[in-house]
Structure 1
């Protein structure tokens, strides 16, 4: 017997509450906010910092500052991916 529409809706609601409770509360109050994965403010700030460090590292020939800028730019790139895993699964390797 296929699940009824009410069962599917309650399953979607419980999944929404589990995944992003702040968004679910705002949606219930009538003032929804975009889900966390679509709010890349931290990624933009990190990218701006990375480009600043990279620019200063190039202007003042300083290898460590250039490397820091490149690493921070890579981290910012990871933050822009909305489908990244929350926590990496650590499986023991034998």
Structure 2
């Protein structure tokens, strides 16, 4: 089943809101300074590169496999949202 445009829009909106929460939580940790701030800054850069490579590869393989652009977008959003939620859980402990 192909995801609807409304479903893609809603999941994108949720991703944006969740990402803003994670940015705020991370900036609070960085503002506190110390070793945890250094680890967070390093983690931010590493995670972004890993996510881009993994999800970009998955999208390319899905496109070559004949998946629709809507399906590819839905999978990418799902992948990013799961990573953002994991960061939110970690940062709120």
TM-score > 0.5, shorter chain as reference: no
Q: TM-score, normalised by structure 2?
A: 0.38
Give the structure with higher Rg (CA).
1
Could you say which structure has the higher helix fraction?
2
Q: TM-score, normalised by structure 1?
A: 0.38
Whose relative contact order is higher, 1 or 2, with alpha carbons under 8 Å and at least 6 apart? 2
